[in-house]
Amino acid sequence: MKVEQISIFLENRPGSLEHATRVLEEANINIRTLTVAETADFGILRLIVNDVEKANAVLKENGFRVNKTAVVAVEVPDRPGGLHSIMKVLGAEGINVEYLYAFVEKSGENAVIIFRFDNPEKAIEVLLANKFTVVPGAKLYEF
């Protein structure tokens, strides 16, 4: 049920993000969603892409430091309280969220929230038990 996210180490300077997106474009990789974590000197670009293995390979070939991280994608209705309904359950179960980001599905009805948990297995168990829709990787890459 987990989703693989690609993380890329980038220096905080003009052109470094452009280099990464150029490599992905040339390899015909489509980005589903992304987020950047930044510090004063460096950032980590986190991506959900349509082809994880290929993205990983071409980025490495081009000298990037890349890693794959397991994240969890949860689908919620795109309306007030959507995210809160998940957070309520996670809070009650004492599950810590390292970071999250989101995108709205093409249909416009649902939002998909990408979570990074310390313990993804336990989080998935809790989410499923509470009738949330956990989106499997294969489905997410094809969105």
Partner 1 sequence: MFYNEEFETLPREALQALQIKRLQQVLQRVYHTVGHYKKSLDAVGVKPSDIKSLSDLHKLPFITRQDLQNNYPFGLFAVPMSSVVRLHASAGTSGRSTVFGYTKRDVETWSELMARSLVAAGIGKNDVIHNAFGYGLFTTGLGLHFGAEKIGASVIPMSGGNSKRQIMILQDFGPTVICCTPSYALHLAEQGSALGVDMKTLKLRVGIFGAEPCSQQMCDEIEKIYGITALNFYGLSEVMGPGIGMECLEGRNGMHIFEDHFLVETIDPQTGEVLPEGAEGELVFTTLTKEAFPLIRYRSGDISRLITEPCRCGRSHIKIERVIKRSDDMLTIRGVNVFPAQVEAILTDIEGLEPHYQIIVDKSGPLDSLELQVEVSEKTFSESGSVKELQTIERRIIKDMKDYLGVSARVKLVEPNTLQHTPGQAAKVIDKRHI
Q: By CB under 8 A, name the binding residues for partner 1.
A: 7, 9-11, 16, 37, 39, 41-42, 44, 63-67, 69, 98
> What is the smallest separation between the CB atom of 124 and partner 1, expressed in angstroms?
20
CA 43, 140, 127, 105 torsion-angle sign: positive
CB of 67 to partner 1, least distance (A): 4
Q: Which is nearer to partner 1, 59 or 74 (CB)?
A: 59
- Closest to 11 in 3D by CA, of 58, 65, 56: 65
Dist CA 138 CA 142 (whole Å):
7
**Strands 3-11 and 31-38, sheet pairing:** unpaired
Nearer to partner 1, 39 or 107 (CB): 39
Nearer residue to partner 1 within complex by CB, 60 or 84: 60
> Would you say 37 or 129 has its CB closer to partner 1?
37
Residue 126 CB, nearest approach to partner 1 (Å) = 22
In whole angstroms, how close is the CB of 3 to partner 1 at the nearest point?
A: 16
Q: Which of 57, 78, 48, 38 is nearest to 139 (CA)?
A: 48
Distance of CA 35 to the CA centre of its chain: 8
